[in-house]
Chain A
Amino acid sequence: MIDKSVLRNSRFMFTLAFVIQASSLLTSFISGTTLQDSWISIILAGILSIPLILLYRSIMLMFPDKNFIQVLKLVFGRVLGTIIGILLVWFFVTLTALNISDLGDFAKLTVMYYTPKYILILMCVLISVYAVRKGLNVVTRYSAVFTFLQFAIIGVSIVFLFNQMDFSAFLPIFTFEPIKYVQSTHIVTTIPMGEMVLFLMLTPNIKIEKKKFTKAWFLGAFLGILALFLVTVRDIAVLGNTLHLFSLPGLICLRLVNLGEAFSRLEILFAIALIILLFFKITLLGYVIIIAFAELAGIKSYKNLTLIFAIFVVLYSLTLFPSSVNHADNAKSITAQLWSLFEIIIPLLVLIIAKIRKLPKHINLTKKQKSFALQESSKDELTQETKQHGNVQKGEV
């Protein structure tokens, strides 16, 4: 194990929740496709995520002491496993770069309009590098705080915008072609929900009982999708049929908060909170990239490679899309298909092949060997008990 940090029950659950919540800025990917019916797609995606969660959970329980790169090498063999591992690292790098790009665009638009995007990104990434160097415990320490912060933002914004909500904006229902619902459900299933695949890289660090583990998976995912659902419903109710015109509908909604002169222009507070959420996700993704790369390259200490990798990802993010509009277009048309390969197809193949090959293989002992092993272990226990008994007697004397 490259990093020996341990992730326990609640921290794992909240980390899972905020990874999904951090995508609440990107609702334009679906709202542009199914407009007022986007909330239906989110519910459908939530239902479709159940088998996805069970898939990831099964792989994690099957190989509890191995990260996903190690699993790939074990299941597909050294050569094919390494090739798929390289593709997976590319996927994580691109995902991080896209999130970095979103952060830069959002921060530039809301907080520092005249500051170059790459300066804003660089500032964020340098702090992320510091956290990644300190290990997984530091990266995930404030997951619960940020999850509650996001819910607080959503709750407060709904209260403040309640006077501007028009619930007739949800009508008419089911007016689009079925393919549109398939498209937007596919987008939600892969873009925020499928990103849970990154937790397969953290398997050796997660130490939770089996029952609690399943509960943490489902509760974390539920909290995440609930946040997405609430954000989408709020945006539809506030923006109505103008929803598809904006690349960041959430921000436009927050800009509309206006309760007299004292409570106007509140979007800056929400913007800062959303930037923190995105920053947190980028930090976790950065950690996953460096762990995955170190595993592939066979490097034991990853810390000295973190900074140069981070700079590379920042520069790579500048090459991806000329603008956020291109990013949204790309996400609507092809990203879901591309991401499905890494988030659904590869993990599914891993599970099927591992079952066929009966992996992980345990050492099969013969009856004689087993009885010998049992005798040896009982001897050891007896010796330990005798020693303890002796110590107790000595203490009594």
Chain B
Amino acid sequence: MITLVILGFSIIVLIDFIPLVKNRDKKAITWFVIMFVSTFTLCILIMNGVEIPSLMLLAEKLIKAIGLSY
């Protein structure tokens, strides 16, 4: 599975990152790297069964604590 994931992410680099480097678009390169690292990390965490806290469930707790829920 990990091989498939690495292969998938390598394809993304080939399709999208190399053209960005060729165009020397610094802002786009920076954001691509940030997004790539975040997405890859998230993928590895999910694959390994790490429980990632749900933002919607956190929002639910917050809104219920405020007393705004139905």
Asked if A304 and B43 sit within 8 Å, CB to CB, the answer is no
B29 to chain A: closest residue by CB: A304
Cα–Cα, bound, A94→B28 (Å): 23
Give the secondary structure class of B's interface: helix
Closest chain B CB from A110 CB (angstroms): 24
Cα–Cα, bound, A303→B31 (Å): 13
Within 8 Å of chain A (Cβ to Cβ): is B48? no
Asked if A321 and B28 sit within 8 Å, CB to CB, the answer is no
Within 8 Å of chain B (Cβ to Cβ): is A337? yes
Contacts A94-B55, A299-B31, A318-B46; is A308 near B12 (CB within 8 Å)? yes
B56 to chain A: closest residue by CB: A320
Closest chain A CB from B4 CB (angstroms): 11
Contacts A297-B27, A333-B70; is A308 near B59 (CB within 8 Å)? no
B61 to chain A: closest residue by CB: A334
Contacts A183-B70, A309-B35, A334-B69; is A299 near B63 (CB within 8 Å)? no
Give the secondary structure class of A's interface: helix
Contacts A304-B19, A304-B20, A334-B64; is A316 near B57 (CB within 8 Å)? no
Residues of A within 8 A of B56 (CB): 94, 98, 320-321, 330, 335
Asked if B35 and A312 sit within 8 Å, CB to CB, the answer is yes
* Contacts from A to B (Cβ < 8 Å): 94, 98, 179, 183, 293, 297-301, 304-309, 311-312, 315-316, 318-321, 326, 330, 332-338
* Contacts from B to A (Cβ < 8 Å): 12, 15-17, 19-20, 23, 25, 27-28, 31-32, 35-36, 38-39, 42-43, 46, 52-57, 59-60, 63-64, 68-70
